Amino acid sequence: MVKFAVIAGNASKDLGKRIARKLKAPYVEAKTRVFPDGESKITFGRIQKNSIILVVQSTYPPVDTNLLQALSIISQARKVSSKIYAIIPYMGYARQDRQFLSGEVVTMSIVARMLKSAGAQKIVVVDIHSKIALNHFKIPKENISAIPELAKYFKRMKLKDALVVSPDMGGALRAKKFASLIDTDFIALKKSRNRNTGKVVIQSSKVDVRGKDLILVDDIISTGGSIVKATQFLKKQKCKRVFVACTHGLFVEGAEKKIKNAGVSRIISTNTIPRNTSKVDISGVIADSIR
């Protein structure tokens, strides 16, 4: 019988405990002390030898701190077991997966090498931003989808005449999958983003959403610019209510407030990043993928 042990960093303690319960595995407390200069000191208790150790740590802001803590825990755990799985539900730097402008560093490739060098034998992520980001890992990897769990949440809401909307063409397949799970249709808006300024423009001219409840589906919401622009555009098309569903709710720079002010009725995210919007638990799908 395979023996697991779960260690979670500061960023994912609750999720780590949930995964441990699902796997009926011991949860090892990782105690983190942050010094006045910002350095972290991590200590954790005894781990049963020959266990597969699951290190659970999302790398949301402060991204570099949470990443370094993940690397430190993996490195120490490697001294006890030869089998270390890095469970990074939200993978920071995944949007820096290729060079968009001359001189840019492809940081995702560096992060991938660091996790491998620290001792991770496998990487498990949830709805990573792109397959290109995942391809930087030269060890076994698994990308889990949170869309089925998010769709279950909205199916329980029993919205009438709902329509799923992707804020851009890149998320069309995600929206299509979400829509099929709640037995409805979907559309994808055309969007452009200035690579230098980050300014978002909705290029779609008109869509038929009059009187419909809309579910805007995205993988990551950071500053919320795309969601705000999409909501404003859809409201002008005389839609009914707008709901937002995302896997990773970063919500930086007051994004949650801006989204609500744009007219969104409710924001639902998963617990890859703990927020007051984190109504969907993905510990079960992570545990199932590991068993």
- Which are the catalytic amino acids? 191
169 sits in the region (left: phi over 0; alpha: psi -120 to 50; else beta) called alpha
Name, in order, each residue with C-beta under 8 angstroms of 204's C-beta and a sequence gap of 6 or more. Answer: 189, 190, 233
| CA nearest neighbour of 170 among 189, 147, 156, 143 | 189
Closest by CA position to 19, among listed 61, 63, 44, 52: 52
| CA distance linking residue 78 with residue 170, whole number of Å | 38
CB half-sphere exposure, 186, CA atoms < 13 A:
25
Enter the tokens of residue 241: 């209510």
246 closest CA partner among 270, 222, 263: 270
Selection from 13, 8, 18, 17 nearest residue 149 by Cα: 18
In the chain, how long is the greatest CA-to-CA distance?
61
Which 3 state secondary structure label does DSSP give 234?
A: helix
A 10 A CB-CB count for 68 gives 18
CB 198 within 8 A of CB 170: no
